[in-house]
């Protein structure tokens, strides 16, 4: 029964258990390549210049930080590490609106989003970064101030699994991004994990402002059904309050649906490229660890 529950909801044990696989990930804070939008790299913003140490060069390191003296002396490439870069605030925004509580394969989009958020948080903690975040639904929004250590990761996880009520109504993606602008400090690495439904022009303006002061990564969570409708037949969908029946035997309807999805995806990719924001996708049926690799 617990296995079935973990397909549709998250718990603290599930998120804590992702610490070990997160240690195998090699995510570089300012060198995250987009998988779906041309392989561009997000800009480096806000790096402190206080020298901290020299370590062996790793793929993804900024070549401008190579210490050529140490490299020449040892015969192996080394790079300089700066203190602020090591302790960079990582802010993870997680969409938990009703559209995220859906899946036909794998886990709910909300569960996949929480797993990816947990992997990112553990990876940041392993690298000594400060971890904070934001969790928003259609009626509430909770921010967690970035802090160091495992206690910061656990505080973020508790916010992920608990419902918070602060009296807000009609919380949209636009409102959440506006709050994100206020809480994410300049120089932060900001992950936004969502299906990005309801992305308005005002929401895009908030992203544009955010990208000028922070490194921003958009992680698009989707269900395979959203990109390709199933074979011919009548399918009933419900959220326990409303029912919708889709007849996939209507070829024109299928074509229109898939075109709409592709247009929305293309818009996300193009917007990300224009704003120099990294963007990639993860489906509900993917292994989140492999998706982040």
In the chain, where the domains are located:
2-42+88-292, 51-84
pLDDT at 34: 39
What mean pLDDT do residues 79-91 have?
A: 75
pLDDT bin (cut points 50, 70, 90) of residue 237 is: low
Neighbours of 157 (CB within 10 A): 25
Calpha distance 118→133 (Å, rounded): 11
Those residues whose C-beta lies under 8 Å from the C-beta of residue 112, and which sit 6 or more positions away, are 103, 106, 221, 282, 283, 284, 286, 288
Q: For the ranges 6-15, 68-77, 236-245, 267-276, which has the lowest average pLDDT?
A: 236-245
Burial class (CB in 10 A: 0-12, 13-18, 19+), 78: buried
Is residue 45 scored above 50 in pLDDT?
Answer: no
* Domain 2-42+88-292, second-level architecture: 3-Layer(aba) Sandwich (3.40)
The greatest distance separating any two alpha carbons of the chain, rounded to the nearest whole angstrom, comes to 70
Strands 130-136 and 51-56: unpaired
Calpha distance 81→227 (Å, rounded): 42
Those residues whose C-beta lies under 8 Å from the C-beta of residue 291, and which sit 6 or more positions away, are 116, 280, 282
In the chain, pLDDT over 70 holds for what percent of residues?
Answer: 77
Q: Tokens in use for 280?
A: 């990639």
Calpha distance 116→219 (Å, rounded): 9
Give whole-number Cα distances, 41 to 14, 37, 199, 217, in Å. 31, 10, 23, 10
Given the structure tokens 């993606």, which residue do they identify?
A: 173
Task: Please tell me the pTM assigned to this model.
Answer: 0.77
Q: Tokens in use for 218?
A: 């958009």
Give whole-number Cα distances, 61 to 30, 52, 215, 216, in Å. 8, 15, 15, 18
What mean pLDDT do residues 29-36 have?
A: 42
pLDDT at 127: 87
Q: Tokens in use for 176?
A: 């959440």
Is residue 38 scored above 60 in pLDDT?
Answer: no
Task: Please tell me which residue, 245 or 47, carries the higher pLDDT value.
Answer: 245
Is residue 47 scored above 60 in pLDDT?
Answer: no
What mean pLDDT do residues 235-248 have?
A: 64
Torsion of CA 212, 57, 132, 201, to 10 degrees: 30
Q: Tokens in use for 147?
A: 């802090």
Calpha distance 203→207 (Å, rounded): 6
Q: Tokens in use for 271?
A: 């917007």
pLDDT at 203: 94
Those residues whose C-beta lies under 8 Å from the C-beta of residue 145, and which sit 6 or more positions away, are 132, 183
């Amino acid at each position: 029964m617990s296995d079935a529950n973990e397909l549709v909801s998250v718990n603290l044990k599930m998120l804590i258990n992702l610490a070990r696989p997160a240690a195998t990930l090699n995510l570089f804070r300012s060198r995250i390549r987009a998988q779906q939008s041309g392989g561009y790299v997000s800009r480096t913003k806000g790096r402190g210049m206080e020298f901290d140490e020299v370590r062996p060069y790793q793929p993804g390191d900024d070549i401008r930080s190579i210490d050529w003296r140490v490299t020449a002396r040892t015969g192996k490439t080394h790079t300089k590490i700066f203190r602020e870069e090591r302790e960079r605030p990582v802010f993870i925004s997680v969409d938990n609106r009703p559209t995220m509580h859906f899946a036909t394969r794998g886990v709910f989009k909300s569960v996949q989003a929480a797993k990816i958020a947990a992997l990112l948080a553990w990876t940041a903690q392993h690298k000594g970064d400060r971890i904070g975040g934001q969790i928003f639904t259609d009626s509430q929004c909770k921010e967690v101030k970035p802090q160091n250590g495992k206690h910061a990761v656990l505080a973020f996880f508790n916010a992920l699994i608990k419902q918070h009520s602060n009296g807000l109504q009609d919380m949209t993606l636009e409102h959440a991004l506006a709050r994100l602008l206020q809480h994410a400090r300049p120089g932060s690495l900001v992950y936004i994990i969502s299906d990005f439904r309801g992305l308005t022009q005002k929401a895009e303006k908030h992203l544009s402002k955010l990208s000028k002061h922070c490194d921003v990564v958009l992680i698009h969570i989707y269900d395979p059904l959203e990109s390709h409708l199933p074979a011919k037949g009548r399918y009933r969908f419900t959220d326990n309050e409303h029912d919708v029946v889709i007849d996939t035997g209507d070829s024109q309807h299928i074509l229109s649906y898939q075109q709409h999805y592709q247009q929305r995806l293309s818009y996300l990719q193009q917007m990300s490229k224009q704003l120099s924001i990294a963007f990639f996708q993860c489906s509900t049926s993917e292994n989140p660890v492999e998706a982040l690799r």
